[in-house]
Chain A
Amino acid sequence: MTARERIAANVANYVDERTGAAKWLKKNLNKVFPDHWSFMLGEVALYSFIILLLSGTFLTFWFDPSMREVEYEGSYLPLKDVKMSAAYASTLHISFDVRGGLLMRQIHHWAALIFMAAIVVHLLRVFFTGAFRKPREFNWIIGVGLLTLGIVEGFLGYSLPDDLLSGTGIRIAEAIIQAIPVVGTYLAFFVFGGPFPGEVFIPRIYIVHVLLLPGIFLALITVHLMLVWYQKHTQYPGPGRTEKNVVGYRLMPVYMAKAGGFFFIVFGITAFLGAVASINPIWLYGPYTPGQISAGSQPDWYMGWLDGLVRMAPPIETHAFGYTISWNILIPGLIIPGIIFTAMALYPFIESWMTGDKKEHHLLERPRNNPNRTAIGAMSLTFMLVSLINGGNDLIATHFHLSINQIMWGTRIGILLLPPLAFVITKRICLSLQRADRESVLHGKETGRLMMLPHGEFVEVHEPLTAEQKWTLTQHEQQGPLQIEAEDARGVRNPKSIRAKLQNRMSKAATETIAKPTAEQVKELESGHH
């Protein structure tokens, strides 16, 4: 035993006698993780979160979350002697007088954008492959929670510098709170400590941004990862992969090196962006005052869809009995987002109700093999995309020399028309792709090579798939529609039960597929060919 081994053994012995960690570690260092590039998306989100904690902590050492009025005396001359809040002045100080301060601010902002983008793309991966199905519904809900909190956290974060742009965002948030019927005005006054903007909201959102929400994030992320660990990761279908196994590499050393290395790669790329790509140059906007604004006011991208919805809302307000209900704010600002996020959180249960599928699933689905879900996803994405486009309608108008009215009307009509269209088209495409799969399993792949038969006929050579390829294309289960017959308490059938009818109808839509080739059919064709 070398000296080094002896020291390691002593340390390990010391820890194990006090914690019994050896047994647990022995098992878990051998844990197998399936490998696929799309499994890195969640990792990117996790690593961005760590980068946010690190860079954010650095910023707190200089940032002064106060709305006390000061005269700027720092080294950025265009704003010299301008009256501003201490929050804005200290952000200028970080940007111009702290070495590496601007770099850290830009890393923090870029990391936030990457964090949100990674969460969204990770969510899309989980959605389109059906990874949210039983037993992972809890983790899906936690994920939706993290997405929602991420949007709030990002918004509060870019509101902290108290510049003209961010103050305008806060003004809009205040108007949304104020629009809530009955209690809105009171809520707004409690949040802002009086009329907008008051002198307390920066310190208040600061503590929410740096303590409250990060704490909740840490707790939710921990549970999210523990569930992934405990339930074992899903895997893509393929030869040798079943619902009862996990195929991949062991945690130590391969995953430790890959995942640990990947953290540094993500951090490195974020630092590169922070170094070369200017983001949120608050010194150009000036300090916030409610009487001014800069043209082309834009939120960060993950808020853009919300802004786009607000922009396209029809100008409807109800005045009755001396009270006002602002539908033009409530519908796009609260009601639609509420419906979207609730439906998203409940989707696993909705799908399982529609299909009647109560089984555990560990093999992922190819999106084409579940046309209904894929179409719902495409529909939702289209809705978000149209809203996002309208959120940038002023920039689009100036860049492409269009009239803002045309874009607004285009998106107003588009938001009603395009999502259902996307649903129908996506569903058709998925079914066609299933037909193509069936075709290539039965008849092989087209090679593009022509062959002349002895009697002069030309045929295209089809190359048969390997057994592995055939398996991958046909391993999925195909479940027919439900045929529920409702019975009353005494067991008498009730053919008119609306619930049963609805569920049968829904499941028919949700399980529509092209029959996959069976072993018999493949055999028949193979024997016919040779």
Chain B
Amino acid sequence: MSDEKSLAPLSDPGLPAHKYRKSDIDQKAAKRAEQQVAILFLLSAIGTLLVVYSYIFIPVDSFIFLPIMGEQNAHQLFLGLGLAMALFFIGAGAVHWAKTLMPDHEEIDERKPMRSKDEDRDAFVETVRERAADSGIARRPLIKRSLALALGLVGVSPILLLRDLGPLPKDSLEKTSWATGTYLVTDPGDRKIKASDLEVGAVAQVLPELAPGKKRKLEDIGKDAVLLIRLRPEEFQLDAERLSWTHQGIIAFSKICSHMGCAVALYEQGTKHLLCPCHQSTFDVTRAAKVIFGPAARPLPQLAITVDNEGYLIAKQPFTEAVGPSFWERSS
């Protein structure tokens, strides 16, 4: 079976005979196709009329009820349907025209290999050699090297000029606005809270109290947001230090996920788990937000809280570690 002849492939029968369409042989069919194309183009024109009508006469705030889709804005719906018709039927008409009335004989073009002819390639190489020699770059290494140096360095400028895109990070990722004695205030509302405002099982989002006249920036909220959760004190499984950071069963965590910085906003009362909606990292509130599932590698930082002499909740001390997602310079 190994000689050439027995392994020969089948032979190519060539292009099959052309099949004529109905519109090629039947004048009536051709006429019909022509009318169909015209109808499609006319439908497009009607679509444009619908666009103009909707734009002028349907009020922007009028609504219409449609089955399945429910309440829809009539203005934008009919504008869109008109536009869709106007565009679609131009296309449908053109394609129908091409398929029924334009020639459908398959034609054959020859291909040439991509590779240039040998003599062209040789001539090219010769040209490049000659011209390179004309420039003298090979004979004058001083020019070659100094040019390489200049070109290599010129890229420094644009990189340098981008330096002022932003400030250096310094220690800003390590710090938040929380300091010893900072009042916890509600978000939204900016009201101070007492322990008695929170019932057992309740959750509240708080921020540090603003100094008078200062505005709260988004970048501050991105580090300062804290979640308060009140459990029964006996439900905690904390070491003595962490337990001392709670107050009457109220425990405070950074709300910014230690994984990628989303707001950890889902609290399951039954299991006492905090869940981040972005990547489903799950933290156990009773065990100082220990990670029990998902991609987060660190617990949510806990904020030590206590009360002032009037009973308002305050921070006992700043966060003892950086909040939010990890970064290279983070030390723990």
Contact = CB atoms under 8 A, between A and B. Distances in A.
Interface in A296-334: 296-297, 307, 310-317, 319, 322-326, 328-329, 332
Contact of A297 (B11, B277, B293): B277
Contacts, number: 336
Interface stretch (B120-128, B150-158, B165-173): B165-173
A248 B204 CA distance: 69
A159 B91 CA distance: 33
B19 to A, nearest CB: 13
A168 B262 contact: yes
Given A262-B91, A289-B221, A317 B326 contact: yes
A232 B113 CA distance: 11
A272 B265 contact: no
Interface in B1-30: 5-16
A231 B114 contact: yes
Contacts of B86: 268
Contacts of A196: 219, 222, 261
A180 to B, nearest CB: 7
B55 A100 contact: yes
B259 to A, nearest CB: 7
A293 B223 contact: no
B331 interface: yes
Nearest to A167: B218
B115 to A, nearest CB: 8
Size bracket, chain A contacts: 35 or more
Contacts of A266: 91
B166 A297 contact: no
B93 interface: yes
Interface stretch (A419-427, A506-514, A517-525): A517-525
B262 A172 contact: yes
Contacts of A290: 218-219, 221-222, 225, 256, 261, 263
A67 to B, nearest CB: 8
Contacts of A393: 280
A172 B172 contact: no
A380 interface: no
Contact of B14 (A32, A240, A317): A240
A186 interface: yes
A246 B221 contact: no
Interface in A234-261: 239-240, 242-250, 253-254, 257-258, 260-261
A171 B169 contact: no
Contacts of A276: 69, 72, 77, 80-81
Interface string B73-100: 1011101110111111111111101110
Contacts of B109: 31-32, 232, 245-246
B107 interface: yes
B168 A189 contact: yes
A504 B55 CA distance: 68
A483 interface: no
Given A291-B225, A468-B13, A310 B279 contact: yes
Given A180-B328, A239-B15, A258 B98 contact: yes
- Which of A196, A297, A394 has most B Cβ within 10 Å? A196
Contact of B79 (A275, A332, A394): A275
B294 interface: yes
Contact of B107 (A172, A248, A312): A248
A117 B65 CA distance: 31
7 contacts: A264-B92, A291-B255, A314-B295, A317-B297, A326-B297, A360-B114, A408-B294
For the complex of A and B, the 3 pairs showing the least CB-CB separation, nearest first, are: A275-B80, A268-B88, A261-B94
Interface of B: 5-16, 55, 60-61, 69, 72-73, 75-77, 79-81, 83-95, 97-99, 102-104, 106-111, 113-114, 162-163, 165-169, 172-173, 187, 205, 207, 218-219, 221-223, 225, 255-256, 259-263, 265-266, 277-281, 291, 293-298, 325-332
